[in-house]
């Protein structure tokens, strides 16, 4: 993503290949097939490897693209160039339709759902009269520019590889953007992303459509390369094959898709043409060897071949520091509002028969650090989840600045200026600290996916990254900015979460055990930072077990035990409260 | 009408068995067992070949895979080889399939009775399942569901290709396990379909008892819930995986033996049959055995009715049936955070 040079070299090499003297025309056919498979695999990389949505149904979208142009250019005589946008629109809009259903599926239901409609659509292709049933549609016109008709595999070669390289560029641009970060956060679960305003179903639908459009493009090219279509290449087997192309290549990497396509297509071809010479005899020996090689490949490199190859290259120097002089708009704070920022009123949460939070009431004022303490299982994290909209209260109400937010989803809560960290760190380990923190500023950016693909988002993007860099410096992790979040110690990861929460430009910061895993010095630095934030006008509500830390920092303490509030007051009064001592030590002292 | 119901229930019973096996394997090993269909065809065609007095290639495959499994065992234990370990590995991985191969060769020459054919087919396919786990899946046990799935596809391809090599492209039928028939009212019950019902019910009850009451069953369930936790309390997760694959291959082979007298099976028939078991397993949520069994019956019925009324769209209807079910399940399931690796 940093350097364009390798891509330009790659494009030049691909452009030069047909001119190599003595190049067997058959190799060009192979390259055509690789390009077609690579387009679909690239979509799957985004969908499965990056977004975590496994799909077996991509072959069906290739089918939509191919059949759309086949029908329109044969039965209605439309020019193939006119059917291109139509093919993409058909694949894309059917992706919206199927995606609206499919992305709601959770966990393992999702891949299975795609398998189901992949199979169903295959049978539909082979049964529908106007699609030519099992025979398909033939005599599809070739692509042509003026009088030049792309009849040979060599002439359509350029159309295919221009499509591949352009798609790769657009996809990589998309990944390296505000929307891309939201997509990359999907795989780690939706709670963290939603806490910063990402609409996860929308983001999932987006990748779904992107993958489908790429598949549709591949189908359109396929139809005009073969100039005939039939249902076979769009079945479940093909859908599975596309998936393993992506996995073999390296499901998290755009170029992994291209590499995977090259490996699988060439391997199949080599096996088909040479194996019968070595092992004469009946049967599909090549399928057997292919299956065995696939398993062996996975055992050698379970992460795919692209990352495995990349690990041999010298490590790239990490990215440059964003220009921190760029500023994002600040939240407008009207001073006239009530000083009660957050009001929790008789909030109650029941899970079946268990009352996790039992009619708890407390408030947080402006410029105040409130600590929520209590033994394990006291309902502190549940209270956090109620406030941030991850859970909705069984009864009672929660108000922010005087207005009730009872049923608001997390995306709405964060818009009000309440941001949070998590007890169990929820960062994306294979994204850098900078990128992770920038997710916090998601709502403060405005560029959409199309703008990101076309790189029209750079001004917006620079501001977001500048804000992220500023918050990282503020929490003292400037040296780790370009490291992968997963490589940091747990304590540092917690601090990264704080920086991410600060990127929201919050009024109220909710910290769930921020000091756990920190060393003594780091705890002191954290306490200093939180005091600074308070003095700067922010309020903090924190859950913490380190009593020394809490007692020195908090202005006010709320004590929960078994879901019920047992005490509230200044650190000094809490320290001597008999109820609190009983809850912690088991006996009244 | 009634014969459609009957047909649906017979097919549904088979799908139920396969669905159970898929649920079992997925729960324990996280492998979505696409080669389940091959276990079906291998079982069926081995049985049919034996009954026809032919030597099935699967017996040789079992020995070859056993040798492979032995090599994997040796390689993994290369730093701490000791005699007992090698001996045990030789016994289970080489001696056993070699003996079975010899028996198969002996019996195949003289058209064995049905019971012997069944027993041999079951043992052969069971060994294939066991060694497959050792060779293909055990080294990948720590990877993601996706990687396991792709490996599963690889195994499916290899086995299907081998199936063509062993059994040829022609379909085969086997002799009925239980011949004879009787009529009750408008319905005619064949001994074969009664066998299907009986064995399915026996298996469901058996699995239920196995998982509910036995220590191994509980260990398997524990592995399914949490691999690490299971290992910490001393459950050997590889053993759980082996048991799961063993059961799945036996169930697959048995299903195949039960249907091959009713329908002609080809080397590649298993895939679609397995997929329908899969549909049932998914409707059961990949966790619930009774629900899977019920769902399988529904799939069988839907298939029977749609093949009668809209035979062209039979497969479309069966697979599209899934979507609303999946949607319902997703909406009904509580929104839990999925921590993926």
pLDDT in tens, B181-203: 677 666 677 777 788 888 888 88
Give the span between the Cα atoms of B303 and A35, in whole angstroms.
Answer: 39
Nearest to A216 by CA among A401, A43, A405, A34: A43
Let me know whether A124 and A241 are in one domain.
yes
Residue B340 has pLDDT above 70, yes or no: no
- Residue A129's Cβ-count burial label (10 Å; 0-12, 13-18, 19+) is exposed
Between residues B181 and A143, the one the model is more confident about: A143
Let me know whether A489 and A574 are in one domain.
no
For residue A587, tell me if it sits in a domain.
yes
Give the span between the Cα atoms of A544 and A378, in whole angstroms.
Answer: 12
What's the whole-number average pLDDT of chain A? 85
Residue of chain B with shortest Cα separation from A284: B161
B199: distance to nearest CA of chain A, Å?
28
Residue A1 has pLDDT above 50, yes or no: no
Q: In chain B, where are the structural domains located?
A: 2-179+188-332
- The proportion of chain A whose per-residue pLDDT surpasses 70, expressed as a percent, equals 95
Let me know whether A254 and A133 are in one domain.
yes
Give the span between the Cα atoms of A520 and A523, in whole angstroms.
Answer: 5
Give the span between the Cα atoms of A169 and A163, in whole angstroms.
Answer: 10
Let me know whether A122 and A249 are in one domain.
yes
Q: Which residues of B touch A120 (CB under 8 A)?
A: 315-316, 319-320
Q: What is the CATH number of the domain that holds A364?
A: 3.40.50.300
Residue pair B128/B66 in contact by the 8 Å Cβ criterion: no
What pLDDT, on the 0 to 100 scale, is given for residue A315? 62
Answer with the one of A448, A473, A505 that is the final residue of a domain.
A505
Long-range contacts of B88-93 (CB under 8 A, 24+ apart): B92/B66, B93/B66, B93/B67, B93/B69, B93/B131, B93/B134
What's the whole-number average pLDDT of chain B? 82
What pLDDT, on the 0 to 100 scale, is given for residue B319? 72
What pLDDT, on the 0 to 100 scale, is given for residue B330? 65
Task: Summarize pLDDT for A18-32 with one digit per residue, the tens.
Answer: 888 887 888 888 999
Lowest-pLDDT range of A283-292, A345-354, B105-114, B314-323:
B314-323
Q: Which residues of A touch B162 (CB under 8 A)?
A: 283, 288
Give the span between the Cα atoms of A194 and A381, in whole angstroms.
Answer: 17
Residue A37 has pLDDT above 90, yes or no: yes
Give the span between the Cα atoms of B222 and B81, in whole angstroms.
Answer: 30
Domain around A448: 427-505
Our measurement of the distance from residue B140's CA atom to the centroid of its chain's CA atoms, rounded to an integer in Å, reads 20
Residue of chain B with shortest Cα separation from A280: B165
Q: What element of type H or E holds A38? A: helix A25-44
Task: Summarize pLDDT for B37-90 with one digit per residue, the tens.
Answer: 899 999 999 998 888 888 888 888 999 999 999 898 888 888 877 888 888 888
Q: Which residues of B touch A289 (CB under 8 A)?
A: 158
Q: What element of type H or E holds A173? A: helix A153-175
Let me know whether A523 and A449 are in one domain.
no
What pLDDT, on the 0 to 100 scale, is given for residue A317? 52
What pLDDT, on the 0 to 100 scale, is given for residue B339? 39
Task: Summarize pLDDT for A225-278 with one digit per residue, the tens.
Answer: 888 888 888 887 788 889 888 888 887 888 989 999 998 898 888 887 777 777
Q: In what order do the strands lie in the sheet with A369-373?
A: A418-420, A508-512, A539-543, A369-373, A556-561, A564-569
Which of B26, B146, B323 has the CB atom closest to A116's CB atom?
Answer: B323
Our measurement of the distance from residue A265's CA atom to the centroid of its chain's CA atoms, rounded to an integer in Å, reads 28
Let me know whether A554 and A454 are in one domain.
no
A428: distance to nearest CA of chain B, Å?
11
Residue pair A122/A236 in contact by the 8 Å Cβ criterion: yes
Q: Which residues of A touch B327 (CB under 8 A)?
A: 101, 104-105
A-B contacts (CB, under 8 Å):
150
State the pLDDT confidence band at B338, using cuts at 50, 70 and 90: very low
Q: What is the mean pLDDT of residues A190-207?
A: 88
What pLDDT, on the 0 to 100 scale, is given for residue B334? 45
Give the span between the Cα atoms of B221 and A583, in whole angstroms.
Answer: 37
What is the ipTM for the molecules in this complex? 0.82
Name the DSSP class of A316.
P
What pLDDT, on the 0 to 100 scale, is given for residue A22? 80
Residue A48 has pLDDT above 80, yes or no: yes
- Overall number of domains in chain A: 3
> Is B143's CB within 8 Å of A285's CB?
no
Let me know whether A69 and A199 are in one domain.
yes
* B181-184 and A228-229 beta bridge pairing: unpaired
What pLDDT, on the 0 to 100 scale, is given for residue B286? 62
Let me know whether A104 and A121 are in one domain.
yes
State the pLDDT confidence band at A334, using cuts at 50, 70 and 90: low
Answer with the one of A474, A490, A505 that is the final residue of a domain.
A505
Contacts of B206 (CB under 8 A, 6+ apart): none
Radius of gyration (C-alpha) of chain B in whole angstroms: 20
Let me know whether A455 and A533 are in one domain.
no
Q: In what order do the strands lie in the sheet with A340-351?
A: A354-365, A340-351, A395-400, A403-404
Let me know whether A397 and A470 are in one domain.
no
Let me know whether A245 and A110 are in one domain.
yes
State the pLDDT confidence band at A310, using cuts at 50, 70 and 90: confident
For residue A321, tell me if it sits in a domain.
no
Question: Which 3 state secondary structure label does DSSP give A559?
Answer: strand
Q: How many CB atoms lie within 10 A of CB A450?
A: 12
Q: Give strand pairing partners of A481.
A: none
What pLDDT, on the 0 to 100 scale, is given for residue A64? 92
Q: What is the mean pLDDT of residues A161-184?
A: 91
Q: Which residues of A touch B274 (CB under 8 A)?
A: none
Nearest to A374 by CA among A511, A564, A552, A240: A564
What pLDDT, on the 0 to 100 scale, is given for residue B332? 63
Which of A119, A189, A292 has the CB atom closest to B319's CB atom?
Answer: A119
Between residues B32 and B131, the one the model is more confident about: B131
B25: distance to nearest CA of chain A, Å?
14
Residue B336 has pLDDT above 50, yes or no: no
A300: distance to nearest CA of chain B, Å?
10
Q: What is the CATH number of the domain that holds A121?
A: 1.10.3470
Residue pair A115/A57 in contact by the 8 Å Cβ criterion: yes
> Is B164's CB within 8 Å of A282's CB?
yes
For residue A365, tell me if it sits in a domain.
yes
Residue whose pair of structure tokens reads 């918050």 in the numeric block? A471
Answer with the one of A259, A282, A299 that is the final residue of a domain.
A259
Q: What is the mean pLDDT of residues A148-177?
A: 87
* A564-569 and A395-400 beta bridge pairing: unpaired
What pLDDT, on the 0 to 100 scale, is given for residue A370? 93
Lowest-pLDDT range of A222-226, A385-389, B34-38, B270-274:
B270-274
b or e along A293-308 (b: 16 or more beta carbons within 10 Å of the residue's beta carbon)?
bbbebbbebbbbbbee
Which of B151, B320, B340 has the CB atom closest to A120's CB atom?
Answer: B320
């Amino acid at each position: 993503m940093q350097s364009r040079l390798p891509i330009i070299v790659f494009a030049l090499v691909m452009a030069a290949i047909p001119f190599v003297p003595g190049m067997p025309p058959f190799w060009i056919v192979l390259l055509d097939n690789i390009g077609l498979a690579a387009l679909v695999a690239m979509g799957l990389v985004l969908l499965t490897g990056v977004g975590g949505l496994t799909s077996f149904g991509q072959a069906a979208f290739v089918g939509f693209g191919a059949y759309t142009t086949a029908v329109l250019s044969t039965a209605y005589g439309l020019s193939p160039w006119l059917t291109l946008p139509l093919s993409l629109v058909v694949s894309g809009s059917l992706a919206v339709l199927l995606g609206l259903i499919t992305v709601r599926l959770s966990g393992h239901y999702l891949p299975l759902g795609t398998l189901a409609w992949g199979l169903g659509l295959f049978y539909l292709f082979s049964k529908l009269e106007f699609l030519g049933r099992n025979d398909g549609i033939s005599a599809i016109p070739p692509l042509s520019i003026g009088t030049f008709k792309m009849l040979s595999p060599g002439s359509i070669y350029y159309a295919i590889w221009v499509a591949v390289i352009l798609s790769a560029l657009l996809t990589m641009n998309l990944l390296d953007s505000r929307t891309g970060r939201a997509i990359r956060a999907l795989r780690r679960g939706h709670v963290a992303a939603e806490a910063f305003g990402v609409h996860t179903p929308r983001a999932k639908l987006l990748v779904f459509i992107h993958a489908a459009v790429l598949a549709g493009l591949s189908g359109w090219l396929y139809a005009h390369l073969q100039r005939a279509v039939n249902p076979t290449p769009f079945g479940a087997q093909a859908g599975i094959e596309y998936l393993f192309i992506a996995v073999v290549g390296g499901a998290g990497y755009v170029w992994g898709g291209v590499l995977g396509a090259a490996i699988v297509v060439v391997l199949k071809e080599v096996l088909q043409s040479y194996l019968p010479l070595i092992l004469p005899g009946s049967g599909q020996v090549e399928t057997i060897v292919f299956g065995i090689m696939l398993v062996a490949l996975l055992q050698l490199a379970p992460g795919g071949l692209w990352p495995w190859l990349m690990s041999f290259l010298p490590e790239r120097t990490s990215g440059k520091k964003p220009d921190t002089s760029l500023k994002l708009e600040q939240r407008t704070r009207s001073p006239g509002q009530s000083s009660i920022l957050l009001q929790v009123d008789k909030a109650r949460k029941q899970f079946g028969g268990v009352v996790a939070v039992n009619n708890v009431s407390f408030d947080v004022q402006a410029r105040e650090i409130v600590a929520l303490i209590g033994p394990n299982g006291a309902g502190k994290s549940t209270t956090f989840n109620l406030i941030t909209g991850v859970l909705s209260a069984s009864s009672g109400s929660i108000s922010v600045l005087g207005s009730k937010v009872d049923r608001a989803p997390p995306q709405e809560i964060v818009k009000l200026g309440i941001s949070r960290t998590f007890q169990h760190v929820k960062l994306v380990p294979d994204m850098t600290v900078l990128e992770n923190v920038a997710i916090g500023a998601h709502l403060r950016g405005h560029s959409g996916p199309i703008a990101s693909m076309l790189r029209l988002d750079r001004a917006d993007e620079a501001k977001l990254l500048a804000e992220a860099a500023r918050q990282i410096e503020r929490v003292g992790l400037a040296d780790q900015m370009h490291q992968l979040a997963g490589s940091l110690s747990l304590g540092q990861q917690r601090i990264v979460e704080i920086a991410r929460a600060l990127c929201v430009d919050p009024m109220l910061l909710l910290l769930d055990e921020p000091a756990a895993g920190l060393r003594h010095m780091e705890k002191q630095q954290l306490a200093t930072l939180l005091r600074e934030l308070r003095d700067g006008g922010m309020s903090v509500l924190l859950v913490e077990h380190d009593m020394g830390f809490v007692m020195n920092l908090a202005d006010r303490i709320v004590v929960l035990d078994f879901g019920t509030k047992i005490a509230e007051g200044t650190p000094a009064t809490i320290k001597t409260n008999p109820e609190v001592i009983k809850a912690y030590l088991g006996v009244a002292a | 009408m009634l014969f459609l119901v009957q047909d649906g229930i017979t097919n549904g019973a088979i799908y139920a068995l396969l669905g159970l096996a898929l649920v079992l394997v997925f729960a324990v090993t996280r492998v979505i067992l696409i080669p389940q269909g091959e276990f079906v065809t291998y079982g069926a065609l081995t049985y049919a070949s034996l009954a026809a007095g032919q030597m099935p290639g699967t017996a040789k495959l079992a020995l070859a895979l056993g040798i492979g499994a032995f090599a994997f065992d040796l390689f993994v234990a290369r730093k701490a080889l000791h005699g007992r370990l090698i001996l045990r590995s030789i016994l289970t991985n080489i001696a056993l399939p070699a003996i079975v191969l010899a028996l198969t060769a002996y019996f195949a020459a003289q058209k064995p009775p049905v019971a012997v054919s069944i027993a041999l087919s079951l043992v052969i396919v069971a060994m294939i399942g066991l060694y497959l786990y050792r060779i293909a899946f055990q080294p990948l046990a720590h990877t993601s569901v996706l990687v396991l799935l792709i490996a599963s596809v690889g195994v499916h391809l290899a086995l299907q290709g081998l199936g063509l090599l062993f059994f040829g492209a022609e379909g085969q039928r086997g002799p009925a396990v239980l011949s004879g028939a009787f009529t009750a009212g408008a319905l005619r019950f064949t001994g074969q379909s009664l066998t299907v019902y009986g064995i399915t019910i026996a298996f469901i009850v058996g699995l239920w008892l196995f998982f509910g009451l036995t220590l191994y069953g509980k260990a398997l369930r524990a592995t399914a819930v949490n691999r690490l936790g299971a290992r910490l309390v001393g459950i050997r997760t590889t053993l759980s995986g082996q048991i799961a694959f063993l059961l799945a291959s036996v169930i697959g082979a048995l299903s195949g033996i039960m249907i091959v007298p009713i329908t002609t099976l080809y080397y590649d028939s298993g895939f679609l049959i397995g997929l329908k078991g899969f549909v049932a397993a998914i409707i059961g949520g990949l966790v619930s055995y009774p629900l899977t069994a019920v769902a399988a019956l529904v799939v069988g019925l839907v298939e029977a009715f749609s093949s009668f009324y809209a035979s062209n769209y039979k497969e479309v209807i069966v697979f599209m049936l899934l979507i609303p079910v999946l949607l319902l399940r997703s909406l009904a399931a509580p929104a839990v955070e999925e921590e993926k690796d």
